[in-house]
Amino acid sequence: MKKTALAFLLGFCFLSAHAEQDPWTALNQEAKRHLINLINIDTSLPEPDEISAARYLYKELNKHQIDWDIFIPNKGRANLMARIKGSDPSKKPLLLISHLDTAPAAEGWSYPPFKATVENGNIYGLGATDAKNYTAAYLALFTWLKDQEIFPQRDIIFLATSGEESGSETGILWLGGEHWDKINAGFALNEGGGIIKNKGGTDIIFAEASTKMYMNVKVTAYGTGVHSSMPVNDNAVYLLSQALAKIAAYDPPAKITSTARAFFKAIAPLQDEDGRTTINFLLSGSPQNQDSAAEIMALDPFFRSQLKDTLNPTILSASKDTGSTGGEASAVINVRLLPESDPDEFFENLKKLFEGNENISLEILERPQTPFPAPMDGTDELFASISKTAGKLLPNAITVPGMSPASGDNEFLRKKGVITYGLGPDMDPLADNTAHTPDEFISEQDFFNQLRFISGIVFDFAYGKDLLPLTPLNTLPTNDTATN
């Protein structure tokens, strides 16, 4: 009997010790459960069911006796906020923000977009990387922090917003105008950056410190509409094709923004000799050498996004009848402008391509709100916490503030004076970004890494100490399962 009791006691001690060695397991399981459940709620445009997603969040908050507020701009849309109070009111709150809505499900999915599928180490579903992974990680961390009954030094705010994918008019833009007194954050973490893996080299923590400006321009060609059996040379589709070819050949000049300068300076030591020389020319060469270096670097699509205004056709419209050609054909050109560009000047330069051509017209469908907010410069205390946490989880990586080619809620927060950085999971700017694409997914490993990175920053910035051990990122915790 004594032997059995002793064996049981030793076994219990072993299990307890094993659990202590792997403290992230429960938190990771909870975050994964939230991600799966949130993917299973269809919040896609044009009619996102954000109310159901918000209901899921507040039911989870209720389980942990966390008070929450819901802000409803109109039927079906919802923003949800919760707060953990800090002990020092002189310290400005930290905002953990994500959005509930997703882009529409693109054609070509082989997995169901609104039913999470866990397969081959990946979690598939619409919103897996944009941005239900953020909401799930924040929710799991937020409820875990509340359960610890340890007061942070500053308030921590969890905010899940509406309408980010359609201009934020029901989300942060509306909240900023109507309810900002209830938020009033000083710092924020959001989507936008990530960990750029460099095989065999130094990894880069890309902390999004600025974004490009979002602009849509409509190009319309006017031709002769006739029966399709009677072809004409001024077919509107042909004229539009010629106009798009001109736009494709248009190459805006390179500009070196303060954020781009800091980014290229930081990554220069990671390049080979040719790369370092090119970056040195870009940053400190003669005007001619700077231009030449910029053109060489712009051959890389990501570097191009850092150095130039870019244009990309998205929506094409023409006749809907196969038996006739309409008198008009149009295309929407999505423009991403550098923060220091002038939208009106850019538009005038674009129109000059078609001077004297009465068959082509251009109009601005969506214009950026100016003045655009200044970028973060990486000298603030939140960036210091980001760098400090990165040093624990990825000891050999470098942390740099960078400019995201995309845009989102961060620009609205920065206009409010909120020091805001975008972070995320492992990223490849060209190959592995599956947001807005069929079979959107996040790997379970990358999601766990994202959870640990966010948690570590919150620990350091809001509590001043690590509440869980932070060791270099490697593998998933054991017994990793998730259920509803």
pLDDT on residue 186: 98
Contact in structure between 122 and 442 (CB atoms under 8 Å): yes
Classify burial at 358, counting beta carbons within 10 Å of its beta carbon; exposed 0-12, middle 13-18, buried 19 or more: exposed
Chain centroid, CA 228 distance in Å: 45
Model pLDDT, residue 280: 96
Q: Tokens representing 55?
A: 């209901």
Q: What is the pLDDT of residue 362?
A: 98
Phi, psi of 390, rounded to the nearest 5 degrees: -60, -35
Contacts of 352 (CB under 8 A, 6+ apart): none
* pLDDT of res. 9: 39
Is 117 in a helix, a strand, or coil?
strand
Residue environment code for 52-66, b if the CB has 16+ CB neighbours within 10 A, otherwise e: bbbebbbebbeeeeb
**What's phi and psi for 329, nearest 5 deg?**
-145, 140
Q: What is the pTM of this model?
A: 0.89
Pick from 15, 142, 177: nearest CA to 68: 142
- Return the structure tokens found at 193: 């950056």
Rounded-to-integer distance, Cα 453 and Cα 394, Å: 10
39: left (phi over 0), alpha (psi -120 to 50) or beta: alpha
Q: How far apart are CA 60 and CA 143, in angstroms?
A: 8
CB 153 within 8 A of CB 464: yes
Residue entry with tokens 């050999």: 396
| pLDDT value at residue 38 | 98
Buried b (16+ CB within 10 A) or exposed e, 109-119: bebebbebbbe
Per-residue model confidence (pLDDT) at position 480? 52
Helices (H), 198-272: 236-249, 258-267
pLDDT recorded at residue 11? 41
Q: What is the C-alpha separation between 69 and 79, in angstroms, rounded? A: 8
Find the distance separating the first CA and the last CA of the chain, reported in whole Å. Answer: 41
Q: Cα separation of 282 and 308, whole Å?
A: 13
Number of residues assigned to the chain:
484
What phi-psi label fits residue 409: left (phi over 0), alpha (psi between -120 and 50 degrees) or beta?
Answer: alpha
As a whole number of angstroms, the distance between CA 445 and CA 123 comes to 10
Question: What is the rounded CA–CA span in Å between residue 38 and residue 128?
Answer: 9
The whole-number pLDDT of residue 230 equals: 84
Q: Quote the pLDDT of residue 478.
A: 61
For residue 293, what are the contacts with CB-CB under 8 A and spacing of at least 6? 278, 279, 281, 282, 285
Residue tagged 């010629």 (tokens): 242
* Confidence (pLDDT) at 482: 53
> Letter for the amino acid at 474?
N
Q: What is the pLDDT along the chain (484 residues), one digit of tens a residue?
A: 333 343 333 343 434 444 454 679 999 999 999 999 999 999 999 999 999 999 999 999 999 999 999 999 999 999 999 999 999 999 999 999 999 999 999 899 999 999 999 999 999 999 999 999 999 999 999 999 999 999 999 999 999 999 999 999 999 999 999 999 999 999 999 999 888 887 777 889 999 999 999 999 999 999 999 888 888 889 999 999 999 999 999 999 999 999 999 999 999 998 899 999 999 999 999 999 999 999 999 999 999 999 999 999 999 999 888 888 889 999 999 999 999 999 999 999 999 999 999 999 999 999 998 899 999 999 999 999 999 999 999 998 999 999 998 888 999 999 999 999 999 888 765 555 678 889 999 999 999 999 999 999 999 999 999 999 999 987 777 655 455 5
For residues 304 and 352, give the distance between their C-alpha atoms in angstroms, rounded to a whole number.
23
Taking the mean position of all CA atoms in its chain, how far away is CA 217?
A: 23
The rounded distance, in Å, linking the Cα atoms of 378 and 397 is 16
